[in-house]
Amino acid sequence: MIELKGVTKQYKGNIAVVSNINITIENGMFGLLGPNGAGKSTLLRMLATLQKPTTGTICVNGMTMENDAHRIRGVIGYLPQTFQAQPLMTGREFLDYVALMKGISHTAARKRMVEEMLEEVNLTAKSKDKVKTYSGGMRQRLGIAQAMIGDPSVLIVDEPTAGLDPEERVRFRNLLNRFSSNRIVLLSTHIVADIETSCDQLAVLNQGELQYVGHPDGLAAHAEGKVWQVKVSDEQFVHIQPDELVSAKRLDRGVLCRIVSVKKPAYVEAIAVTPSLEDGYLALLGGAK
């Protein structure tokens, strides 16, 4: 279990970029959602023991950051937002090196673990090639593998699907889901679809502040009665407020729009529709005018 109490981070001379966070995270997939600059990476870096909170306490499986940072590091796997692997090592050598650094000294066990991880992230065929020859998506998959190796009880992944193609993205979500069955997987993203189907709990961070914590259904409910579907002409379409428009699908004649707004749009044929998680997120962040 992870417990954050009053966690605040303030860089010198600046306002707090993470402000008074109080959350308890249990086993399972936990999504951290927020726009660019919300403070997600800062919060995850503090959880990964790479930065200290200015005030507040972080407790992981009963260990506190102040007293047990070294032991906490031993139970955490972390994929930072910008992941760099040794370019002159092969993928297999790199994972072997990471496993050794994590204290897996038994050679046969380490070798088996590395092969399993390569298979999991679909890199077996490239495992003898140097990392410098990998595509962005392959490097990202290697990053995911290095975070998972050693069987951490807490896996922290910061925007892990950036650079993955759609097939890999789905594969990756399934992998995290399986991994989270008896441990904590903390996944930060600004892509709602990444957490829609997999997280039982999520938090929304905006400008350093926690705006929502709970089940995805509760977030979707924020847009209840505020989501509208309407078919408009091309002339009407240009008058729709861009910050209210969730999606627009061009039809043979006109455009089918999904709008998040407190007030029913002024078109007779506008119908209220069931909100999705994305609608709820947009309504929460935009304050659905």
Ligand X SMILES: Nc1ncnc2c1ncn2[C@@H]1O[C@H](COP(=O)(O)OP(=O)(O)OP(=O)(O)O)[C@@H](O)[C@H]1O
What is the closest distance, in whole angstroms, from the C-beta atom of residue 187 to ligand X in the complex? Answer: 13
What is the closest distance, in whole angstroms, from the C-beta atom of residue 133 to ligand X in the complex? Answer: 27
17 binds ligand X (CB under 6 A): yes
Q: Which two tokens stand for residue 236?
A: 């009407």
What is the closest distance, in whole angstroms, from the C-beta atom of residue 195 to ligand X in the complex? Answer: 14
Q: Which is nearer to ligand X, 34 or 150 (CB)?
A: 34
What CA–CA distance (Å, rounded) separates 244 from 183? 38
Q: Which is nearer to ligand X, 37 or 214 (CB)?
A: 37
Supply the DSSP string of 216-269, one letter for each residue.
HHHHHGGGTT-EEEEEE-HHHHTTS-TTTEEEEEE-SSSEEEEEE-SSPPS-TT
Q: Find the binding residues for ligand X in span 70-89 (CB under 6 A).
A: 81
What is the closest distance, in whole angstroms, from the C-beta atom of residue 130 to ligand X in the complex? Answer: 28
140 binds ligand X (CB under 6 A): no
What is the closest distance, in whole angstroms, from the C-beta atom of residue 155 to ligand X in the complex? Answer: 17
Q: Which is nearer to ligand X, 47 or 98 (CB)?
A: 47
What is the closest distance, in whole angstroms, from the C-beta atom of residue 164 to ligand X in the complex? Answer: 16
Q: Is 278 in contact with 195 (CB distance < 8 Å)?
A: no
Q: Which is nearer to ligand X, 185 or 232 (CB)?
A: 185
Q: Find the binding residues for ligand X in span 167-226 (CB under 6 A).
A: 190
Q: Find the binding residues for ligand X in span 20-49 (CB under 6 A).
A: 34, 36-42
Q: Which is nearer to ligand X, 202 or 240 (CB)?
A: 202
Q: Which is nearer to ligand X, 47 or 145 (CB)?
A: 47
16, amino acid identity: A
- Identify the sign of the CA torsion 170, 172, 173, 179: positive
Q: Which is nearer to ligand X, 42 or 127 (CB)?
A: 42
User: Residues in contact with ligand X, total (CB under 6 A)?
Assistant: 13
Out of 1, 6, 11, 271, the only residue in the binding site for ligand X (CB under 6 A) is 11
What is the closest distance, in whole angstroms, from the C-beta atom of residue 227 to ligand X in the complex? Answer: 25
Angle at 232 between CA 226 and CA 233, to 5 degrees: 160
Q: Is 99 in contact with 149 (CB distance < 8 Å)?
A: yes
What CA–CA distance (Å, rounded) separates 205 from 33? 6
Q: What is the 3-state secondary structure (H, E, C) of 41-108?
A: HHHHHHHCCCCCCCEEEEEECCEEHHHHHHHHHHHEEEECCCCCCCCCCEHHHHHHHHHHHCCCCCHH
Query: Cα-Cα-Cα-Cα dihedral of 203, 204, 206, 209, to 10°?
Result: -30
Q: Provide the binding-site residues for ligand X, judged by CB under 6 A.
A: 11, 14, 17, 34, 36-42, 81, 190
